[in-house]
Amino acid sequence: MYAQMVDTGLKQVQGREDLSPEERAFQQRIDEGVKIEAKDWMPDAYRKTLIRQISQHAHSEIVGQLPEGNWVTRAPTLKRKAILLAKIQDEAGHGLYLYSAAETLGVSRDELLAALHSGKAKYSSIFNYPTLSWADMGAIGWLVDGSAIINQIPLCRCSYGPYARAMIRVCKEESFHARQGYDIMMSLCKGTPEQKQMAQDALNRWWWPSLMMFGPSDAESVNSAQSAQWRIKLFSNDELRQKMVDQTVPQADYLGLSIPDPDLKFNEETGHYEFGEIDWSEFYEVLKGNGPCNRERLRTRVQAYDNGAWFRDALVAHADKQKQRSADAPRAA
Ligand code: FAQ
């Protein structure tokens, strides 16, 4: 499928015969599996694509803290609260590794955050949905972190070294996040009928948006062909989405929950689940800023940034003072 993606994609990407000698040598290194590092020569478009994807990914991690942050004060036990807090802090850490990876490409964190705060930069559609009950903490860990892992494991092998290396730790932590989500779902499903119903309701609301996380279908994905050629993407959006469905349906069966898709059925011949049509109009509306929580998420993010201004200023003032002090200190003979 990867080869097929590149083949069909070649209609959209520059043919190799049109590449400059520098570009051809660059593509050859990628084809040979050599990692590209920050100081290596790279085509401008490769740099731009990486800045776009890595920064969107970083924004997703920090905006992704907000829906779960909504439940910290209402976690049902001290243990669940501690686990949720740790998870949310991990997401901030992921944002930091990813902003740092993007900075190696010559863009500043301030520029990236300004693009997020002005609404110019995208972040994952999934974080524009509301978290209505405690069961949503289970569904997010299970389905959202579960999908994030499926998408991100291949990124550990992508062609850009700083991004690939950042993803290794991110994936390890996401795996803990997915397990804690499934653990919440298991507790609810073993609980009272009302608790099980809460879990089913969360699955009903998060299932389709989780499938949308993987991006538009391969036929509609504008960036896939070029990103596949550069080995930023090792699998297509549809391939990864199928993987998520195949992995998750048996997990729902184990919980005794039903997937909200009347067209879902296992195909004995292919060994894969077939699933119903995704409502792409909903996906594109969310991308345009019209999801249930887009405005609220952006407002909260901007407010948090503005409220932290005094702290960032104090850190810089302290660093400047330290620098001044060491410059003034008498040198040892
Ligand atoms: N939401 O041509 P493609 C997480 C945009 S992290 C919003 O297929 P591409 C952890 C796309 O940017 C979740 N926009 O694009 C966590 C492009 O627009 P552009 C984030 C989307 O880049 C868990 C246009 O549509 N993960 O969950 C989405 O080749 C719990 C056309 O699409 C990553 O960012 C979407 N879902 O493939 C945190 C992983 N899908 O930029 C807290 C890295 C597509 O041309 C709590 N990123 N678009 O204007 C990727 O793998 C890729 O960027 C894809 C999109 C697969 C997301």
- pLDDT at position 14, please? 67
Atom of ligand 1 minimally distant from the CA of 57: 34
Following DSSP, what letter does each residue of 97-156 receive, concatenated? HHHHHHHTTT--HHHHHHHHHTT-S---GGGGS---STHHHHHIIIIIIHHHHHHHTGGG
Question: Helix (H, G, I), strand (E, B), or coil: what is residue 331?
Answer: coil
Among protein residues, the one whose CA lies closest to atom 23 of ligand 1: 145
- Is the CB of residue 210 below 6 angstroms from any atom belonging to ligand 1? no
Q: From ligand 1's centre to the CA of 214, what distance in Å?
A: 7
CA-proximal residue: ligand 1, atom 14 (nearest): 124
Q: What are phi and psi of 160, to 5 degrees?
A: -95, 115
The number of the ligand 1 atom at minimal distance from the alpha carbon of 227 is: 29
Cβ(144) to ligand 1 under 6 A?
Answer: yes
Whether ligand 1 lies within 6 angstroms of the CB of 148 is answered as yes
pLDDT tens digits, one per residue of 135-147: 999 999 999 999 9
Kindly give the distance from the C-alpha atom of residue 323 to the centroid of ligand 1, in angstroms, as a whole number: 40
159 lines ligand 1 (CB under 6 A): no
Q: Is the beta carbon of 237 within 6 A of some atom in ligand 1?
A: yes
User: How many CA atoms are closer than 13 Å to the CA of 51, on its beta-carbon side?
Assistant: 21
Cβ(227) – ligand 1 distance below 6 Å:
yes
Instruction: Please give the pLDDT value at position 330.
Output: 76
**Quick one: 260 exposed, middle or buried, by C-beta within 10 A (0-12, 13-18, 19+)?**
middle
- The backbone region for 275, taken as left when phi is positive above 0, alpha when psi lies in -120 to 50, beta otherwise, is beta
The pLDDT of residue 16:
73
User: Which of 204, 158, 202, 151 is CA-nearest to residue 174?
Assistant: 151
Ligand 1 atom closest to Cα of residue 61 = 38
**59, 29 Cβ separation under 8 angstroms:** no
The DSSP string of 171-237 is HHHHHHHHHHHHHHHHHHHTS-HHHHHHHHHHHHHHHHHHHHTT-S-TTT-SSHHHHHHTTS-SS-H
Residue 265 is classified by DSSP as: E
Residue nearest to atom 52 of ligand 1 (CA): 53
Q: What is the pLDDT of residue 1?
A: 40
* Residue from 60, 116, 145, 208 to probe ligand 1 pocket by mutation (most atoms less than 8 Å from CB): 60
Q: Which atom of ligand 1 lies closest to the CA of 222?
A: 2
Per-residue pLDDT of the chain (333 residues; tens, 9 = 90+): 434 444 444 335 767 778 899 999 999 999 999 999 999 999 999 999 999 999 999 999 999 999 999 999 999 999 999 999 999 999 999 999 999 999 999 999 999 999 999 999 999 999 999 999 999 999 999 999 999 999 999 999 999 999 999 999 999 999 999 999 999 999 999 999 999 999 999 999 999 999 999 999 999 999 999 999 999 999 999 999 999 999 999 999 999 999 999 999 999 999 999 999 999 999 999 999 999 999 999 999 999 999 999 999 999 999 998 888 888 887 765
Q: Which of 122, 211, 224 to mutate to test the pocket of ligand 1 (most atoms within 8 A of CB)?
A: 122
